[in-house]
């Protein structure tokens, strides 16, 4: 089974076999992409609402990788659906690919190259330069904002 992100409908991805998506993806689409979503759901695509346990696992995984602040609610629900249904996630979104790797979810990419390696982001204070593993609004030392930093 394949779980389809909005980019699958935008780029006319042709999935072999069964498919699923989440209702929030339809809300992101316009014009012909919205029509493709409606056609797919009318011809057997499962429109799935993931359970709370799967959504909580996604939140924990996104916190671990440092992608929690860049995922939308739609992204989280797609990841939770792929995890819950033991399906392959179809997306070009790098943050989603990173979290999917942490969850053990397979990914197919559409129009972009997939990620080469998973990243566990670090956060650096813009004032004092200290680095932290977890995202916070402000540095606990000097109070300046934190910015996500590539760990490599």
Residue found under tokens 């979503």: 37
Bridge partners, residue 108, by sequence: 90
Per-residue pLDDT tens digits for 25-80 = 999 998 999 999 999 999 999 999 999 999 999 999 999 988 988 899 999 999 99
Residue found under tokens 């998973």: 118
Per-residue pLDDT tens digits for 42-53 = 999 999 999 999
Q: What is the DSSP string of 28-94?
A: H--HHHHHHHHHHHHTT-EE----HHHHHHHHHHHHHHT-TTT--HHHHHHHHHHHHTT-EEE---H
């Amino acid at each position: 089974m394949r779980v389809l992100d909005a980019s699958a409908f935008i780029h006319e991805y042709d999935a072999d076999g069964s498919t699923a998506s989440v209702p929030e993806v339809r809300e992101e689409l316009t014009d012909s992409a919205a029509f493709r979503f409606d056609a797919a759901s009318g011809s057997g695509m499962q429109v799935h609402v993931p359970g709370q346990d799967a959504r909580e696992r996604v939140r924990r995984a996104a916190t671990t990788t440092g992608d929690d602040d860049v995922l939308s609610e739609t992204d989280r629900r797609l990841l939770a659906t792929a995890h819950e249904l033991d399906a392959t996630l179809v997306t070009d979104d790098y943050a989603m690919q990173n979290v999917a790797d942490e969850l053990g979810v397979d990914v197919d990419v559409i129009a972009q190259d997939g990620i080469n390696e998973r990243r566990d982001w670090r956060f650096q204070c813009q004032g004092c330069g200290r680095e932290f593993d977890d995202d916070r609004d402000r540095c606990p030392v000097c109070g300046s904002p934190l910015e996500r930093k590539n760990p490599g």
